[in-house]
Amino acid sequence: MLLGAVFEREVRFAPKSKGLFIGRAVYAGSLLAIIATCWLVLTGTQTVTSPGDTARFGATLLRTLAPLQLSLAVLAAAMTAAIAVSVEKDRRTLELLLLSRLSERELVLGKLAASLLRVILMLLSAIPVFGIASLFGGVTGIQLGRLFIVTAAAALSAASIATTVAFWKDTTFQAVAITAFALVAWVVIGEAATSWFGPTVGEQLSPARAMFAALSPAGGNLGSFLSLCGLLIAVTNVVAIQRVRTWNMARDARRAAQAQGTTASAQSRPARYIWRNPILWREICTNAYGRTIVVVRVAWLLLFTAAVAGIVSEARAENPDRFAVAVAVIPMALASLLAVTALAVSSITTERDRGSLDLLLVSDLEPKEFIWGKLFGAIAVAREVVVLPLLLCVALIASGIASVENGVYLLIGTGILLFFAAVLGIHIGLSYPSSRRAIGIGLGTIAFLFIGVATAMRIMVAFGSSFELQLAPFLAVIVGGGIGLYAALSARNPSPAIGWASAILPALTFVGITGFLQGNTLQVLLVTAVAYGFTTVALLVPAIGAFDVLTGRSSAGDT
């Protein structure tokens, strides 16, 4: 095939995977559930009496579904591409691919196309659902076509960036973190261009602005945005094709030389003091996550600087634009949660892929030493990713955009969510033996919770005026979300605590959204602390108690 054996293998084996069909069915079903929920919310709070009312509903509905699909497509394409390459590195199979007859073009483009296969099928499954939504009126088939073209172009660009970064960097965490930084920077640059040069320029640079332009009757200047995507795709793939062997073969040669030098100087090197918890010592005091992790830290510092600059700029304005502040804060918060989760998951999966987990399991390490060492080690390694969002909350207080009370609530809530993301990553890493599946489910869970909350908020604001009356239409979404969470979190270790956590998390999230939209910030903090705090404990305690079963140290019958 034109794209090589890597893509040919994916095409042959992907249709045999149940997850491929389940994923498309769940996505299409979720879109249908959102349409039904929006209609029930509208008819329960307002009166629909004319075709104009349904046309306005259809237009607003697509403005709710389109951002959801764009976010999921871009994140899924980027994370799938980064994970596909990083797992090959963790398993030491990328060297075998580089030694095969595959050309650089076949390797890079094959990996890219293989990672995009599921995303493309997801978009194809959504076309009939969007067609059903268009039957309400308010949007034409041409607008839908433009929307899917923009979404596909943005997803392909994100996947190309992720593939190049993953071939460049050493570890999964570095690849995911830098990819997340690049995507956030793309959004921030587009919004900055919009505020400085006007919406026309923003439509040419920002995928979000281009998406809304595609839904407008005029269509906007989408040619420039598609040209930008084409340039990003071409440049990143050309760089990856030209440098893939230099990045990886040269790195292997350096590792071999360093190993020889280490062996030669081992006798003359003084002994190092190892802490009481050797896992924590290894995570913090060695290069367990690559020598070039400083690039990730510099990238996050640049992102933090840009976010603070946006906040200060809005604070100096006579009427601060809270949407612009949200654009500065929310993408960084989401990227931080994704990066922390990826680091925690990969801290387990990398040990398993490299065979070092088996050595740790035959040692005298206790489960609590392993779990706490990995957990606090991941937080310490990702200290910039953890600390900078907290400092961003302080910047909101200092700039006067948030009051001291609300800023403190935001600070505490952000800390709870970051710790939850780390515990979730450890739990998922222990629960799933497949590295690709574990990382995908961990990142997917965070994206589901974050993007799901944003979608629910948009539905409430767009279609309803009384939040108390919207509970009944949202019950189906709450129940479905609880079932999905339980299926993801209790794969190998079902427990009543995880069942209760899966049940209450979507419901309490709905209560928190209601409190936020009504301006009750204390209620939001309390709900966040109860929902995510209980879920954190529900994941952490079984991870320690059932550690031997999850890692294969002993069977369930032995315990």
Reference 229, options 206, 212, 200; nearest CA is: 206
Identify the pLDDT of residue 157.
Answer: 95
Round to whole Å and give the CA distance between 461 and 402: 21
Identify the pLDDT of residue 265.
Answer: 47
Mean pLDDT of the chain: 80
Position 494 pLDDT exceeds 90: no
pLDDT digits (tens, 9 = 90+) for 91-110: 788 888 888 888 888 889 98
CA angle 531, 546, 538 (to 5 degrees): 5
538 lies in a domain?
no
Position 351 pLDDT exceeds 80: yes
Gyration radius (Cα) of the chain, Å: 24
210 lies in a domain?
yes
Q: Which of 167-176, 254-263, 357-366, 488-497 has the lowest mean pLDDT?
A: 254-263
Mean pLDDT of 412-429: 90
Position 521 pLDDT exceeds 60: yes
pLDDT digits (tens, 9 = 90+) for 276-290: 778 888 777 776 666
227 lies in a domain?
yes
401 lies in a domain?
no
Identify the pLDDT of residue 161.
Answer: 94
The confidence band for 315, taking pLDDT boundaries of 50, 70 and 90, is low
Q: Could you please report the per-residue DSSP string of 348-412?
A: HHHHHHTTHHHHHHTSS--HHHHHHHHHHHHHHHTHHHHHHHHHHHHHHHHTTSS-HHHHHHHHH
In the block, residue with structure tokens 């995908």: 440
Polymer length of the chain: 559
**Amino acid code (one letter) for 399:** S
Mean pLDDT of 135-142: 85
pLDDT digits (tens, 9 = 90+) for 432-443: 887 788 888 888
* 4 vs 483, more confident: 483
pLDDT digits (tens, 9 = 90+) for 443-453: 888 888 877 77
Calculated CA dihedral for residues 548, 550, 553, 558, nearest 10 degrees: 70
412 lies in a domain?
no
Domain count, the chain: 1
| Close Cβ partners of 45 (under 8 Å, ≥ 6 residues apart) | 463, 464, 465, 466, 469, 470
The confidence band for 331, taking pLDDT boundaries of 50, 70 and 90, is confident
> What's the domain range around 179?
1-254
19 lies in a domain?
yes
83 lies in a domain?
yes
172 lies in a domain?
yes
Identify the pLDDT of residue 506.
Answer: 81
| Close Cβ partners of 92 (under 8 Å, ≥ 6 residues apart) | 353, 354
Position 266 pLDDT exceeds 50: no
